[in-house]
Copies of this chain bind each other. A is one copy, B any other.
Amino acid sequence: MSTRLPTTDRAARVALSRIAEPGNTSVHRAVQAHGAVDALTRFVNGAMSATGVVGGHYSWSRLAEDLRGSDLLGARVVVPSDADWPAGLNDLTVPPLCLWVRGEIDLAAASARSVAVVGARSATAYGTHVATDLAVGMCERGFAVVSGAAFGIDAAAHRGALAVDGLTVAVLAGGIDRLYPASHAQLLGTIADEGAVISEQPLGVAPIGSRFLKRNRIIAALTNGTVVVEASLRSGSLNTAGHATSLGRPVAAVPGPVTSMQSAGCHALLREIDSQVQLVSDADELAEHVGRIGYDLAEPKRGERRATDDLDPEDRLLYEALPLRAHRQIPDLARSVGLTEMAVRAGLGRLELCGAAERDLLDGWRKTGTTSTRRQSTRGSVGEAGR
């Protein structure tokens, strides 16, 4: 079939997206070998053919329709030669031919500091809470939050980002005019206004089956790293995590109750042998894992420090022998802990220095009183946490 063919790279990529499912390996190879314009010509003229490529069906009117449709929607088509093409996509074995984009943001800049927050559609209240919190925290740290606009974790992530005027990007499995799920039409409208709604699928393409799996590779490639918040053992978010791992991107998972099937997928990820998947419990830890090395550092979590934490064993024994309200004399203490009086005197000096012991006028010693209004037993005042 003879037809007028596009002569620009951009138009050729749009056309190629119609004659084969995006992600088609043969099309990718042909474009690499011959450029998009020439590859399209060969497929349409029958000089080249490949599984899944229906070159004979393409027509110029279809291309015109595609470009007009895009304009009507206020969308644009971004191709690899554009300045705001996200470089991360080039890491894919089969990168998208082009992206349909609704939204004014610079995609390349957003992608350069970004995190994918993904997870179960049938999320629990716990999962949506954590996803929202993580998205908020990551936006506050300057990350764009990328997800798939699905029910549950995805939506919570987008909403968290929007709540703090953060950048958020929704990657759809179908065309960007096919707002899916339908009940997220308003959410997707807001994301397009404030961030971007993108897809490698041309307009009108239905979001079905395998397109979700292909979409997941884009979420993984677009971002610095991926966190799975809740996932059942068959969740598609594990597929996104798998893509991220293949791409060498850091992957994190949020743990949850072991009694919740919605956390079982996260726990399975964390249990994988030689797993590089990191357990994260908040945005600090997530930013450290997916962010810039040496820049996005999380403070290690520690319990409250106590003055007596660093006592050596002898001083600790001595400390424990001290009463809290009464006083004890040094010879008595020495007998009790099995130290010489000189050693006890030195130890008491050290305890006094760190504020753990005090003496009265008659050289009796006791533990330093706390200002707590609760009555405290001797036993309760130190080492309680050490049991």
Determine the distance from Cα of A52 to Cα of B338 in the docked complex, in whole angstroms: 4
B379 touches A51 (CB 8 A): no
Interface residue? A4 (CB, 8 A): no
A137-165: CB near B (< 8 Å → 1, else 0) gives 00000000000101000000000000000
A301-327: CB near B (< 8 Å → 1, else 0) gives 111100000000110110110000000
Pick from B264, B278, B319, B378: contact of A271, CB under 8 Å: B278
A246-284: CB near B (< 8 Å → 1, else 0) gives 000000001111110001100110110000001111100
Interface residue? A209 (CB, 8 A): yes
Contacts of A386 in B (CB 8 A): 209-210, 212-213, 234, 236, 239
Main secondary structure of the interface of A (DSSP, over half): loop
| Max chain B C-beta neighbours (<10 A), residue from A235, A255, A271, A335 | A255
Determine the distance from Cα of A207 to Cα of B207 in the docked complex, in whole angstroms: 65
Determine the distance from Cα of A213 to Cα of B316 in the docked complex, in whole angstroms: 12
Contacts of A236 in B (CB 8 A): 385-387
Interface residue? A382 (CB, 8 A): yes
| Max chain B C-beta neighbours (<10 A), residue from A257, A335, A382 | A257
How many residues on A have C-beta within 8 angstroms of the other chain's C-beta atoms? 70
Interface residue? A200 (CB, 8 A): no
Contacts of A57 in B (CB 8 A): 335
Contacts of A129 in B (CB 8 A): 259
A303 touches B126 (CB 8 A): no
Determine the distance from Cα of A338 to Cα of B104 in the docked complex, in whole angstroms: 35
A-B contact pairs, 18 of them (CB 8 A): A51-B338, A51-B343, A52-B314, A173-B387, A209-B319, A209-B386, A210-B383, A212-B383, A213-B383, A213-B387, A233-B301, A234-B304, A234-B386, A235-B385, A255-B263, A255-B279, A256-B257, A271-B285
Q: A209-B386, A210-B317 are in contact. List 13 more A-B contacts (CB 8 A).
A: A126-B257, A173-B387, A206-B379, A208-B320, A209-B316, A209-B379, A210-B383, A233-B302, A234-B304, A256-B256, A258-B280, A264-B281, A267-B281
